[in-house]
Amino acid sequence: MKSLIQKLTDTFSPSGYESAIRDVIRAEVEPLADEIRVDALGNLIVRKGSGGKKIMIAAHMDEIGIIATHIDENGFVRFTGIGGVYPRNLPGGRVRFFNGTPGVIAMEPMDKSTESQPLEKCYIDVGATSNKNHPIKIGDVAAFERPFLDMGDRLVAKSMDDRIGCAVAIEALRALKSTPHEIYFVFTTQEEVGTRGAETSAYGIDPELGFSIDVTAWGDTPGQKGFSMNLGKGPAIKIKDSGMLSDPRIVNWMIKTAEKAKLPYQREVLLGGSTDARAMQLVRAGVPVGCISIPCRYVHSPSEMVDFNDVQNAVKLIVNLLSNPVDL
């Protein structure tokens, strides 16, 4: 599974530009699917089984990135974020544009060492000396570049958010030998800019219930306060985030399943951010939803960290959820 995670995280596919990662995922899941298709917004929809309840599981394929907005006379590239790009995580980072051009992110000097710089004070140095015959054009898109790091139980890469969710979905699909349900694994687009792919795909599928697989924040490093979440203590069962209240029946189903299978889990109340489940919940006449989260340190940085045991236990939990009848 580690080689799959590396393959997924090494692929460059910011929101709106998911074709590369969709091709990688499709090659993994096509032999496992009863039906596979791509919808108008680029979501990869994988069906397994028929009959029983219609269940949708969403994991988003996209990652945060940047888009060029201006090239100055000295060749420095100004940019804005695609998704939640935070200036504090950027200086010294590297990006690669879709045309292959690499770049280093830097920041204008601060007047005071304590002040916080906005994104407008950041720029990318691609080695150019002027804006003549520049390799980058306004509107060119880049993703962060940082190699995958295997630290044993701890894995580090850019785009763990949410390629780790995609890896969990792929492995759950691989391990799910049979199901009494009609399951739709959906690898969604444009989550980082507003859960857009989940909204359109859920409208088309019209599921009876569903859940997302995504990362969540962490609370187990120095200075982190007010949020209980630890790497290595199991996947999290979401109860609430800033955009969604999980259906109590879904939460209860997940907790009972984890306890019956003797799988570790954590209870999650996320103070900021949301997932594809929010969009799924609101389509048509409404859908009961929840979320299984992978605790992840340093979210929306080029070095996001997860615990491999949490990842494996998330796969086991999902397989147990989908292998048996559901009575909410």
> CA 83, CA 296: separation in Å to the nearest integer?
17
Token readout for 141 is 């898109």
Task: List Cβ neighbours of 227 (8 Å cut-off, separation of 6 or more).
Answer: 217, 218, 219, 270, 271
Has 268 been annotated as catalytic?
Answer: no
Cα angle for residues 123, 127, 133 (degrees, 5° grid): 100
To the nearest 10°, report the CA torsion of 85, 89, 91, 94.
Answer: -70
> CA 222, CA 244: separation in Å to the nearest integer?
28
> CA 262, CA 268: separation in Å to the nearest integer?
19
Task: List Cβ neighbours of 161 (8 Å cut-off, separation of 6 or more).
Answer: 63, 64, 214, 215, 296, 299, 300, 304
Phi and psi torsions of 291, nearest 5°: -155, 140
Amino acid present at 57: I
Task: List Cβ neighbours of 292 (8 Å cut-off, separation of 6 or more).
Answer: 168, 211, 212, 213, 235, 236, 237, 238, 254, 314, 317, 318
Sign of the Cα pseudo-torsion (280, 282, 285, 286, in order): positive
* CB neighbour class for 109 (10 Å; exposed up to 12, middle 13-18, buried from 19): exposed
User: Catalytic one among 18, 28, 182, 191?
Assistant: 191
User: Among candidates 92, 91, 88, which has minimal Cα distance to 118?
Assistant: 88
Phi and psi torsions of 318, nearest 5°: -65, -40
- The answer to whether 85 and 64 are in contact (CB under 8 A) is yes
Q: Which residues are catalytic?
A: 191
